[in-house]
Structure 1
Amino acid sequence: MAIVYLSPVSWNSIAQRPHFFADFLAKNEKAKIIWIDPLPSRFPRISDIRTKLIGVEADSISKKNNIKVIKAENIIPVEPFNELYKVVNVFSLKKLIQQIKDEVGSQECSLIIGKPSVFSLQLMNMMKFKYVIADVMDDYPQFFEGLAKVSVNKLLKDILAKVDLSLFSSTGLINKYRSLVSSSLLINNACSYDFFYKSQKIRATLDTSVINSELITYGYVGSVAKWFDWDFIFKLSAEKPNSIIKIIGPNYSESINVPKNVFLEPAVHHSQIPNIVNSFDYGLIPFKVNELTDAVDPVKYYEYTAANVPVISSSFGEMTSRINSGFAVTLDQHLNNKCSVIEPPIFWDDRFKLIDRDILYAI
């Protein structure tokens, strides 16, 4: 059995939902997971030069032997001009499809689409799949503007209308797109067993006698991009000038002057994150509140709670209900000395096992 996974992120990037989904699928050793790194789609920007030069990403989780990663070659990014995209990339796309066919061979095969794209629809037409699943982890049209936004919105709707099952990572997403699909499941995010067990071992070895209770460390682990709320960080810095605020992860934002108690650090391998998170007194999720973040269920929330670290967050997406339930607090609530209750850990296996096994593995 084979599963072709059209990922929205490359394998060699900060660990996200697709990595853990592929890892879960690969636990079935009879399955061959064919991971396709995302094809370049939009026109390059000036800011891309900086991120390519300095290499803002870090390696992800370890790859199981039955996961095969394929990176498309010689793709010219001219979306949202979709017909032109197919014409100028006709030979490269045919080569990629043949490569996928060769990997699948004569096996039964399912397809998981992690990102709306011209290639997704093309592959559905060019290959026979027993089941096709859309795994929607973000409101993708909100990442774009103008004609590109219109194009991605149409691609997403076309894909959702054709697949056998649509998975949504948040209530915001499933509420927005459920009417377009024949079958849907809410599969929220989670954390890995490995992360939880490492956190437990770290906490068991902490020497609480040397902890400086007067020096508070706030931390954020994740991407810094247009949804990151710097005003949140500046306010926390001003209100807690004797604290340390660490921001760790790939930085796609414009250069910004940060206060002296704010430290920007590069992305790290996922295996190092338990050590980092366990050094925090509080875990931060400082996202802007808008239509994009309304669809977000941040993985970092689950990793903070798995490490027994209380969460301070903006009120967006799934975090709104957690703030209302007392599992997280807003910045203002924290500054007014309100404390949160730490939610018990939730694991990826518990999420993904809700999906029909016959559909996943094309049995």
Structure 2
Amino acid sequence: MAEYLDGRSLTSGSGSGLPLLVQRTLAKQVALVECLGSGSSGGFGGEVWRGIWHGENVAVKIYFSRDEAAWARETEVYSQLLPSRHDNILGYVGSDMTSRASCTQLWLVTQYHPLGSLFDHLNRSPHPLTHHQTLNICLSIANGLLYLHTEIHGTRGKPAMAHRNLKSKNILVKTNGGCVIADFALAATQDRLTADRVDLRQGTKRYMSPEIIEQTVNVECLESFRRADIYSLGLVMWEVCRRCISNGVALEYAMPYYEWLPSNNQEPSIEEMRKLISLDQRRPPLPNRWHSDPTLAGMGKLMRECWHGKPAARLPILRVKKTLVKLAASDSRVHLPLD
């Protein structure tokens, strides 16, 4: 049991590449306890539950049969990521198909994080973030994205991947204050891009980069999607840093581009986003008071280098990580183990 939860899983040996736990028994071993939410914007139309599996809390993402392709894709991605678990990627337990009330359900079982998504955490927490908490969040997301973007060779290897739907709702907060990246239904590898035509309309429009919105991106090149992830990362860092207290002040939580979009909770259209980020070249504004705080001033500069209109001008994820490490090291309020 412990070895599953800390990730030393085996593959089935059938050559399918799917983990041992894709089998028709996992759902029978999980007792669903409470519904944590149902379908969000950006594609997933199912439900997420907290369940108990062998006495441990797990999260159960339930897809309905119309979303079988997304479930199968996410299962496949997790099985590719599985050989070497990562602290900042959501831990995978297994997948299963089951029938409830004569309806087919496709289950994806993962580790459970009681604090929920980064979006929920930034919204709900009555307390603003300290500089330590802010950099802990940002650095852990960068570490997760660095792992995802990097090809690792050898028996515990993995292909380089792009996430394609990075946003605060797809990042979960751990009890230690760091984060894990989740939701890999749209994740792309170079092999996948070569074999299949990618649908650029999939994803969350608010977080789409200009070249995805404009459909000028090279859809056969993984690097172009990694650069689009960096744009989204810039927006997520902006969401986090707004909640950071500086000179006694922190701003309320806000979604990126909230000033210009008529309804903050609704998903904007492609046309609204095109006008905003391509034609009008808008980006989220950086608060003036950040200028007098070296860490937040550095974060603001980093965001601008992530959400640059030209994909080639955006920083690669390793540069983002190194910049965050430098900012953390030069701020006496931040105490992180910096590798």
User: What TM-score does the superposition give when structure 2 sets the normalisation length?
Assistant: 0.28
Q: Which has the higher contact order (CA 8 A, sep 6+)?
A: 1
User: What TM-score does the superposition give when structure 1 sets the normalisation length?
Assistant: 0.27
Q: Which has the larger radius of gyration?
A: 1
